[in-house]
Amino acid sequence: MLKHVVGEPITIGNEFSEVRLTRVDTRNGSRLLIESQKSGQWVALCPLEVEALTWQSTATFSAMIGHPFGSLVDERSGQSAPESW
């Protein structure tokens, strides 16, 4: 994937985290590659997935931060994970 980088990566961080953002062109269009410098985790999001972030409430982001590396969706049923995590 890194063979198809467009432009220079951008690194942003604060006292809690640091991530590198890179535009990558694939045969299915551009993706935003987000890499965690600390954990080594990464995700490549299409424009629709990036836009979907703008639809979320602060509660969604709080749930994601409160349960790192976990899913907000029960993978078996496709339903939202229980509020009681």
The whole-model pTM stands at: 0.80
Q: What are the tens digits of pLDDT across the range 16-52?
A: 999 999 999 999 999 999 999 899 999 999 999 999 9
In the chain, the DSSP E strands lie at 5-13, 18-26, 29-36, 42-45
* % of the chain at pLDDT higher than 90: 67
**Dist. CA 7–CA 61, nearest whole Å:** 28
pLDDT band at 75 (very low <50, low <70, confident <90, very high): confident
pLDDT at site 73: 85
CB atoms within 10 A of CB 55: 7
Please determine, for residue 69, whether its predicted confidence score (pLDDT) is greater than 80.
yes
